[in-house]
Amino acid sequence: MVDNFKIIRSMLKFESPGDCYYVQLLRRQSDDPKIGGVPDPAYHGNMHSRSIKDYFISSLAHFDDVEKEIKTICEVFNVRAYIRLNKRTFKDISMIIFKHITEEICSGETFAPPLHLVARAAGRANAAGKSKTWIVDVDAEFVPYKQAVREMIEKCEPFQSANDIVEIQTKNGFHLIAKPFNTSRMDELWQSFCSENNINLPRFDIHKDNPTILYVK
């Protein structure tokens, strides 16, 4: 089980009316029951994941109020809760939805079902500004080098301190939450580290606005 409610709560900042954080409950194909070692197609078909429920967290009190509900849904339906740590605003989400609908009207195209628009808009409406964070994905094969990766982040402009980097546990490793940094410099540091330590691995993934894990059974 991975429960990051406490540490993520400490990272949430609601500075203006309309600020929110986007939480998704997703059923991943890798978590489906298997038949003969293959995921049951009755659950997903060809989809990698299926959205079960979304939340737009508008305050710390709201976050606390839905914690039990989110955990219960995750446990009963074998789903994972994810959260985007770059905050959104209700205004930005609404404007993206409105823009898409207006473009459909002007183009004369056939209207698609609108239910997907909210999730699509929420995924794009990054309003974090100078508070933006990235995710450095330290998956299982990189876990032995986690401390080295942290030190590399500190050596990349704009030179963050160790206290600026937050460690989030995932099901198969860790996410290091950090401010944006010089990725070209990171490439150089990683290549040098691998060469010096006889490691044959590509550079770990760096996600600029992906969700991190909030809870999984």
Residue 16 Cα distances to 60, 89, 206, angstroms: 13, 9, 28
Q: What mean pLDDT comes out for the span 51-63?
A: 96
Output the pTM of the full model: 0.88
Q: Looking at the predicted structure, is the pLDDT value of residue 48 above 70? A: no
Q: What mean pLDDT comes out for the span 164-184?
A: 96
Residue 16, token pair as written in the block: 């203006």
158 preceded by a cis bond (ω within 30 of 0): yes
CB neighbour class for 201 (10 Å; exposed up to 12, middle 13-18, buried from 19): exposed
DSSP 132: -
pLDDT tens digit sequence for 93-106: 999 999 988 887 88
Q: Looking at the predicted structure, is the pLDDT value of residue 117 above 50? A: yes
The residue among 69, 55, 93, 92 whose CA lies nearest residue 211 is 55
Residue 25, token pair as written in the block: 């409950």
pLDDT tens digit sequence for 3-38: 999 999 999 999 999 999 999 999 976 665 666 666
Q: Residue 118 and residue 20: Cα distance in Å, rounded?
A: 14
CB atoms within 10 A of CB 129: 9
CB neighbour class for 51 (10 Å; exposed up to 12, middle 13-18, buried from 19): middle
Q: What is the chain's mean pLDDT, rounded?
A: 91
For residues 88 and 20, is the Cβ–Cβ distance under 8 A? Answer: yes
